[in-house]
A and B are shown apart, each in its own frame.
Chain A
Amino acid sequence: MLSRIADSLFWIGRYLERAEDTCRIVEVHLHQRSDDPSSPGEAARNLLLLMGHETREDEPDVLDALCYNEQSPVSFLSALGSARESARRARETVPTEVWESINTTWLAMRGGRLQRMRPASMFKLVRERCAVIAGLADSTMSHDEGWLFLTLGRSIERIDMTSRLIATASLAGNTPRAWDHVLGGCGAHHAFLQRYGAVAADRDAAEFLILDRVFPRSLIYTLGTAVDALEHLGPAFQRIRPDDPASRLLGSAKATLEFLPAEEILLDLPEQMARLQVVCSQTTESISERYFEGSLAATWVGGAW
């Protein structure tokens, strides 16, 4: 597979997941605002900071910055736009159905159409369209190298964003309501109740979202998917240890979480989640170095004409 195409697929995976998760995070934020309407400006600034977007405004418009504004680098509209651009560049590799689905989604959300919807239905629309695209990709692509890159991108983004989502609970003071919203934001409310019942504590929620081995949006599960994808991409059998830094980074992050003593989970949770986000960015770097930057060769740097 062409390095450039692999790169595009990886980023399609990341951007689509980013769009979906951004929308989930904003939704959780809005719920938490309605529970605790004090100091809305600070909450909004904190949220934007969490998404990696510093602002000097006193009361920033969260919906604008994270949803509608195509120019804002952290909005899901810009993530969708980037996904579409990547898909356009890899159009001969991306199945037609997936491309059309991405394209129609993007077209349907531009030009102020989202602003005219109620936020709740907008969130639902974005989540569902992202699920449709992901589902089409899973069922119309061969699960070969290209799909593995897509999955890898999606998993890494999901780890990154879920860790941010978990961190929002601490921003809201770790109240049970806050954890409820986070669970809901991860689409985990139902699964969580089935597992723990309605008498659960905040630690249980954190435990579930971080350590559950069978819930597909939990950190451990997603880390596992990413590690698997990397394993399939690499050489078949390794006797000592994975030969690429990406596998090692993800593997050790996974082990750290997995073998954490139960009582330490809530202990500096935001700190742990931040560490995970660093791992994600380091992993991306090493994947791109290994697979995307192309075999080293002389390149034409241009000349006078």
Chain B
Amino acid sequence: MRALFDDYPPGEAFDEMVRTGGIRETAESVVSGMARLGLEELRGRAEYLRTTYIDQGITFDIGGEERPFPLDIVPRILRADEFAHVEQGSRQRVKALDAFLDDVYGEGRCFSEGVIPRHVVVTSPHFHRAMWGVNTPNGVRAHISGIDLVRGDDGVFRVLEDNVRSPSGVSYVMTNRRAISAALPEIAAQHRIRPVDDYPSELLKALRAAAPSGVADPTVVVLTPGVYNSAYFEHAMLARMMGVELVEGRDLVAHGGHVSLRTTRGLRPVHVIYRRIDDEFLDPAVFRADSMIGCAGLLNAARAGNVTIANAVGNGVADDKLVYSYMPDLIRFYLGEEPILASVDTWRLEEPEAREEVLDRLDELVVKPVDGSGGKGIVIGPRASQEELERLRRQILKDARGWIAQPVVQLSTVPTMIDGELRPRHVDLRPFIVNGGGDDIYVLPGGLTRVALPEGELVVNSSQGGGSKDTWVLAEHTPVHPQPAAPPPAVTQSVKMSEQVLSRVIRHQHEQQQQQSQGVTSC
């Protein structure tokens, strides 16, 4: 243990594994497992991880170049009760988000009751009037969501943003688990880690549940923008693991309110489309006419109720960071409950007093565009140059609706292998939630832990040089602590072949007899 963390620099932020003068209890067994391997061996295993990812083609595209997704050798550990809190909170949040979206594109109770001003919603760039009045078969609009959580200095999880358009990264959760189990088999085997392999079947179940009514055996497809999309690996993997077709826009034909696939045997109807294409490109007949990756007529078919688009079009309003600031109120309004997951304080720059305050303190706050994703456009006050702040100030004055401000949240750190040494790096957590309608909400145990690899960096997105970690949610039972003093009980005694055969013969006879006696009684 000494060797691993001897020169581990104490960071300013909350570290999830190392506390002053020792190792946190949660991580103890993992750290001692790693210490037994030693740093040199750990480096070798990290190298193994990198090569397997290249061989398996687990990559993401940046500007047409395939890169392996960096996976760190040190897993991140969450206790069962820690994750139970996240799980409940995510469930509640998804329910509220779904109710909110349904309300926005329907009745509009949240406006008439004054919970959120109507202009906030309709001025969101992702609000699509075309979706108004379009009902979804089982009332679900956010079939798949990812909620980004960060952990502050106090160790409390806070929601940073909601993703109910096309949250990506779940494939890496599954491949990371497989790779880490192969790279650290000794350590993985000593812990009861909640499995993540159920995700594809839960996803398929939810997608089938969302099928238009009256379709007994719905055809589900995954719609991808194509092989050059940065998340293509994920699209292919989900399709393969669900056992459904992965289609591109040109494989689909929408005609007369129905959508079909072009197959070698003619057209075949499609009922549920899990689309990973942005709203703007989905249907050139409604949105951008120059989109070549969508399928004209999809939205018409959805409106006619013959096909379900998952996630629903127009969900982006809920991702809007200004709407985010109203989420606690919305949860209370729709569910009548207090929010379980804490939020980050947010200044709404539309409100004059808030704007005044923020413009005064630009150099200490984080300012984000409301519709940004992938960490684009974020300005971190304390690290920005005078010019950047000046430009930001002008932008805010021009378009106050387009920005929000938050205090700098010091993200928690986890030891990460950097150039062969363990160093603290900032992480976040994105749990994935699959909504099958009603109370049937599945939260993937763990989720994607993204890690910012440059020192001190707070933006963890993979498009900005981020990596990932395997996230272990330990099951309720305490991990099997290795006891070097007391050797494990004797190895299972092998049973002699003759005895095995004997017991099998006896059982066989027994079964026969039972059948016979059953036969007798039934006569």
Residues on B with C-beta less than 8 A from A305 are 288-290
Given the known inter-chain contacts A2-B261, A4-B250, A91-B236, please indicate yes or no for A107 contacting B54, CB distance below 8 A: yes
Stretch at the interface among A17-25, A244-252, A278-286, A293-301: A293-301
Does A100 contact B262, Cβ atoms closer than 8 Å? no
- B266, CB-defined interface residue at 8 Å: yes
Residue A31 lies at the interface, judged by CB distance under 8 Å to chain B = no
Q: Tell me the residues in window 126-172 of chain B with beta carbons closer than 8 Å to chain A beta carbons.
A: none
> Is B55's CB under 8 angstroms from A6's CB?
no
Using A6-B264, A91-B240 as known contacts, say yes or no to A300 and B296 having CB atoms under 8 A apart. Answer: yes
Q: Do B264 and A300 have beta carbons less than 8 Å apart?
A: no
Tell me whether A111 is interfacial, beta carbon within 8 Å.
Answer: no
> Are the C-beta atoms of A304 and B55 separated by less than 8 Å?
no
Contact A92 B264 (CB under 8 A): no
Mark interface residues in B247-261 (1 if CB within 8 Å of A CB, else 0).
110110101000001
Q: CB distance B261 to A303 under 8 Å? A: no
Count of CB-CB pairs between chains A and B under 8 Å: 91
Asked if A272 is an interface residue, CB under 8 A from chain B, the answer is no
- A3 and B263 contacting across the interface, CB-CB below 8 Å: yes
Residues of B within 8 A of A292 (CB): 264
Q: What's the Cα separation between A183 and B288 when bound, in Å?
A: 59
Which positions 223-276 of chain B face chain A at CB distance < 8 Å? Answer: 227, 232-233, 236-237, 239-240, 245-248, 250-251, 253, 255, 261-267
A104 vs B57: C-alpha distance in the bound complex, in angstroms?
9
Check if A64 is an interface residue, CB within 8 A of chain B: no
Contact indicator A295/B266 (Cβ below 8 Å): yes
Chain B residue at minimal CB-CB distance from A94 = B240
Give Cα distance in the complex from A103 to B251, angstroms: 26
Interface of B, helix, strand, loop or mixed by DSSP: mixed
Q: Does B292 contact A (CB under 8 A)?
A: yes
Q: Is B402 an interface residue (CB 8 A)?
A: no
User: Quick one: given A92-B239, A100-B55, A107-B54, are A302 and B263 in contact (CB under 8 Å)?
Assistant: no
Min CB–CB distance A103 → chain B (angstroms): 5
A3 vs B232: C-alpha distance when bound (angstroms): 19
A1 contacts chain B at the CB level, 8 A cutoff: yes
Q: How far is the CB of B310 from chain A (nearest CB, A)?
A: 18
Q: Does A291 contact B (CB under 8 A)?
A: yes
A59 at the interface (CB under 8 A from B): no
- Chain B, residues 48-92, CB within 8 Å of chain A (1/0): the string is 000000111100000000000000000000000000000000000
Identify the closest chain B residue to A290 (Cβ).
B264
A1 to B251, CA, bound (A): 11
Option from A3, A91, A107 in Cβ contact (under 8 Å) with B262: A3
Would you give the shortest CB distance from B368 to chain A, in whole angstroms? 27
Cβ contacts under 8 Å, B296 to chain A? 300
From residue A7, how far is it (CB to closest CB) to chain B in Å? Answer: 9
Q: Please report the total number of B residues contacting A with Cβ < 8 Å.
A: 37
Determine whether the beta carbon of B253 is less than 8 Å from that of A295: yes
Q: Is B431 an interface residue (CB 8 A)?
A: no
B251 touches A2 (CB 8 A): yes
Cα–Cα, bound, A107→B291 (Å)? 34
Counting chain B CB atoms within 10 Å of each CB, the highest count among A1, A233, A304 belongs to A1
CB-based contact A2/B227 at 8 Å: no
**B312 smallest CB distance to A (angstroms):** 22
**Cβ–Cβ contact A297 & B262, under 8 A:** yes
User: Is there an interface contact between B264 and A1, defined as CB atoms closer than 8 Å?
Assistant: yes
Q: Are A103 and B266 in contact (CB under 8 A)?
A: no
Q: List the A side residues contacting B233 at CB < 8 Å.
A: 91
Q: B239: which A residues are within 8 A, CB to CB?
A: 92
Q: Mark A93-117, 1 if CB is under 8 A from B, else 0.
A: 1001001100110010000000000
- Cβ 8 A contact of B285, one of A91, A233, A294, A300: A300
Taking the nearest CB of chain A, how far is it from the CB of B288, in angstroms? 5
Return the contact of A3 from the options B55, B251, B284, B290 (Cβ within 8 A).
B251
- Contact across chains for A107 and B55 when beta carbons are under 8 A apart: yes
**Nearest residue, chain A, Cβ from B288:** A305
Q: Is B299 an interface residue (CB 8 A)?
A: no
Which of B240, B265, B290 has a CB less than 8 Å from the CB of A303? Answer: B290
Which 8 A/B pairs are nearest by Cβ-Cβ distance? A303-B289, A294-B262, A92-B240, A91-B236, A92-B239, A300-B296, A305-B290, A92-B246
Q: List 8 A-B contacts (CB under 8 A).
A: A1-B265, A92-B246, A103-B57, A294-B262, A297-B262, A299-B250, A302-B291, A303-B290
Task: Spell out B's residues near A (CB within 8 Å).
Answer: 54-57, 222, 227, 232-233, 236-237, 239-240, 245-248, 250-251, 253, 255, 261-267, 284-285, 288-292, 294-296
